[in-house]
Amino acid sequence: MNDILPFLKSMISVAGLSGYEAPIADLIHKQWTPLADSVSRSRLGSIHALKSGSVSIASPRPSVLISAHMDSIGLMVSRIADSFLHVTNIGGVDPRVLPGTPVTVHASKTGEELYGVIVMPPATLLPEGKGSGVIGLPYLLIDMGLTPAEVAKRVEIGDRISFATEPVEMSGGLLSGHSLDNRASVAALTVCLEELQNKKHDWDIFAVASIQEETTALGAITSAFQLRPTIAIALDTTYGSGPGASGYETFPLGKGLTLGIGPNNHPFLYKRMKEVAARVEIPVKDEPMPEYSLTDADYMQLTAEGIPTLLVSIPLRYMHTPVEMVALKDIQRAGRLLAEFTASLEADFMNKIVWD
Partner 1 sequence: MLSIGQPQIKLLEKLCNALSVSGDEGEVRRIVLEEVKPYADEVKVDALGSVLVRKRAERSRSALRILLDAHMDEIGFMIVNDDGDGLYQFKPVGGIDERHLPGKQVIVGRDHTVGVIGAKPIHLTTSSELEHTLSADTLRIDLGEGGASIGDRATFATKFRRVGPSILSKAIDDRIGIAILIELLKHAPKNIELCLSFSVQEEVGLRGAKVAAHYFEPDLAIAVDSTPARDLPHYEGAENFTYNTRLGFGPAIYMANSSTLDDPRLVRFLAETAEKHKIKYQFRQPGGGGTNAGAIQQARTGVPVVSVSVPHRYTHSPVSIARVEDWKNTLNLLHEALQDVTPSLVKSRQ
Catalytic residues: 213
CB 73 within 8 A of CB 18: yes
Size of the site for partner 1 (CB under 8 A): 62
Least CB distance from residue 143 to partner 1, whole Å?
A: 6
CB closer to partner 1, 77 vs 343: 77
| Secondary-structure breakdown of the chain: helix, strand, coil percentages, each rounded to the nearest 5 | 30, 30, 40
Query: Any residues with CB less than 8 A from the CB of 87 and at least 6 apart, and which?
Result: 75, 76, 77, 78, 118, 137, 140, 142, 161
Of 23, 102, 262, 283, which lies in the binding site for partner 1, with binding defined by CB under 8 A? 102
User: How many Å apart are CA 95 and CA 289, to the nearest integer?
Assistant: 26
Contacts (CB under 8 A) with partner 1, residues 274-303: 294
The binder of partner 1 chosen from 34, 145, 263, 288 (CB under 8 A): 145
Site for partner 1 in 297-356 (CB under 8 A): 317-325
When the beta carbons of 170 and 350 are compared against partner 1, the nearer one is 170
When asked if residue 255 is in the footprint of partner 1 (CB under 8 A), the reply is no
What does the alpha-carbon distance between residue 27 and residue 19 come to, in Å, rounded to a whole number? Answer: 16
What is d(CA 27, CA 299) in angstroms, rounded to the nearest whole number?
26
The one-character DSSP state at 328 is H
- Contact between 191 and 35 (Cβ < 8 Å): no
Site for partner 1 in 19-38 (CB under 8 A): none
Binds partner 1 (CB under 8 A): choice among 50, 120, 152, 280: 120
Q: What residues make contact with partner 1 under the rule CB under 8 A? A: 81-82, 84, 92-94, 96-102, 114-115, 117, 119-122, 124-127, 130, 133-135, 139, 141, 143-147, 150, 165-166, 168, 170-172, 174, 176, 239, 242-245, 247, 249-250, 294, 317-325
